[in-house]
Structure 1
Amino acid sequence: MITKHKGFFVLCLILAVLCCFLGKWQLQRYEFKKRLLNNYTERLHAAPKIFPQLLAIEKDLQFQPIKAQGVYLNDLTLFQQKLSEQGQPGYEILTPLRIKNEKKLLLIDRGWVPETCPVTIDTQQQQIITGNIKLLNEYQFILGKNILKSEQGVTVIQRVDMRDISELTHQEFFPFIIVLDRQPPTTVLPERHMAYAVQWFLFALIIIVSFYFFARERGRDEL
């Protein structure tokens, strides 16, 4: 039965294996996101640690609550395009913070504003900020170039890429950002990845069963 439909069998096998691979990948994403949210929940109400001293005592920095003192470099503020949870267009306001005796700058996520809302950034004095570290360890797909606009003191970006930002500002940054408002991370919930995994495994099963019935019916027709 398989020999007579070898080409179709190989195609179905490849598709079934691909679906199984994608299902396994979604299970891995499920476990990763579950650990991510558990880690965030544990650290949400923890006491903030002083930056940069915590770098010497903490290895796992994701969502680590911190307190830092420095001066905002308002001229280097970035506007990252981002939709709100309701789908409203707007920007995340990202401003570098210079800390005394530190060569690198901290990039601070100061929050989201609507696209139509005028933004005035005039903070010049020393600031004491508290927030959570967010590691930039997830790939963000974008269309076209990352730096969309850089003129008249306004720089619009699609994603936070420290290499692009360093080249643009001629400054060196720590490889993470500080999020000021303690909101749950904007990420796909673990349960959705589990649902995707089930779907991919079902697709694989459907392909195998479909080939079986297709080959059986063809075999009957040839008798």
Structure 2
Amino acid sequence: MDYPARRFGLRFWLVTLAALVGIAVTASLGRWQLSRAAEKEALQAAIDSQGQLPALDAPAMLGAADPQALLHRPVRLRGLWLAERTVFLDNRQMRGQPGFYVLTPLALENSSTVVMVQRGWVQRNFVDRTALPKIPTPAGLVDIAGLVVPAPSRLYEFAGEDKGTIRQNLDLGAFAQETGLPLWQQSVQQTGEDGAGLLREWPVPKTGVEKHYGYAFQWFGLCALLTGLYVWFQFVRRPAVRRFARHG
């Protein structure tokens, strides 16, 4: 007689324990990725809703208690370009081509505050890296429309490459100390039609929610695989092998 104690021995319970742990871990990781996806969707919805709000003027923008809360909010500003402080950020792409992001400080009208404006993108000189394109910059008061954004994302840089007109990255706080300009905490990404030889097809801010759904699918798929393998080897194939050995 084949007693349960013999059918379900130590090996069976060790395999069962390992399978349950694996199933629990992978299912938990899948649920965690879904929760991260939900958070990212909420963040993306907040970004989208910010972009639909009415544009702020300079006094309203500067009067905000938390500049961070204004990210992706439209603004309309009036001021003077400080062309001599223009910075070209290297190795930035647009339309699949490498070039420069052109950033120029804007001294706001009726204010002592200066805002760093990401004016657009221009293609670089592939023969001479130090040859800068000529960007027309009006000398009088200008009106611009844009979005409140952080400084451009940082790229890998070698030591000593954060000075001069051509730079790899720009830290607003460090630039303010370097130049003595009273820079606002955030920057503004100029929008509207291309102009002055600059393209403004800025990348749309994405939170990467698709990545989390992909990871969740992988974890749940692994969970299902572990479950299927456990059932197959412990309850389907194993009894069949035992029956074959008994009657073989």
Q: Which band: TM-score by shorter chain?
A: 0.7 to 0.9
**1:206 Cα deviation from its structure 2 partner:** 1.0
**1:133 Cα deviation from its structure 2 partner:** 3.2
Take 1:146 and 1:134, find their aligned partners in 2: how far apart are those partners? 29
Residue from 177, 184, 187 that aligns with 1:174: 184
Change (3 A) 1:12 1:170: farther
Change (3 A) 1:57 1:213: closer
Partner of 1:143: 156
Residue from 7, 29, 40 that aligns with 2:40: 29
1:19 and 1:204 in contact (8 A); partners too? yes
Residue from 80, 89, 99 that aligns with 2:108: 99
Change (3 A) 1:97 1:111: same
Count residues in correspondence: 211
One-letter amino acid of the counterpart of residue 163, structure 1: G
TM-score, normalised by the number of residues in structure 1: 0.73
Q: Which has the higher contact order (CA 8 A, sep 6+)?
A: 1
Partner-residue secondary structure (3-state), 1:171: coil
- 1:14 to 2:25 alignment: yes
**1:30 Cα deviation from its structure 2 partner:** 2.2
Larger Rg: 2
Take 1:141 and 1:26, find their aligned partners in 2: how far apart are those partners? 24
1:134 and 1:179 in contact (8 A); partners too? yes
Partner of 1:4: 15
Partner of 1:187: 204
* Structure 1: 5+ residue stretches without partners: none
Take 1:94 and 1:121, find their aligned partners in 2: how far apart are those partners? 11
**1:53 Cα deviation from its structure 2 partner:** 4.7
Take 1:19 and 1:172, find their aligned partners in 2: how far apart are those partners? 47
Partner of 1:79: 88
Partner of 2:77: 67
1:2 and 1:9 in contact (8 A); partners too? no
Residue from 38, 54, 58 that aligns with 1:51: 58
Take 2:86 and 2:48, find their aligned partners in 1: how far apart are those partners? 29
Take 2:28 and 2:157, find their aligned partners in 1: how far apart are those partners? 32
Residue from 207, 222, 226 that aligns with 1:211: 226
- 1:120 to 2:134 alignment: yes
Partner-residue secondary structure (3-state), 1:178: strand
2:115 and 2:184 in contact (8 A); partners too? yes
Partner of 2:216: 201
Q: Which is richer in strand?
A: 1
1:78 and 1:157 in contact (8 A); partners too? no
**1:83 Cα deviation from its structure 2 partner:** 0.8
One-letter amino acid of the counterpart of residue 26, structure 1: A
* Structure 2: 5+ residue stretches without partners: 1-11, 126-130, 193-199, 243-248
Change (3 A) 1:141 1:108: closer
Change (3 A) 1:146 1:88: farther
One-letter amino acid of the counterpart of residue 163, structure 2: S
Partner of 2:8: none
* RMSD after superposition: 3.5
1:97 and 1:108 in contact (8 A); partners too? yes
**1:94 Cα deviation from its structure 2 partner:** 0.4
Partner-residue secondary structure (3-state), 1:148: coil
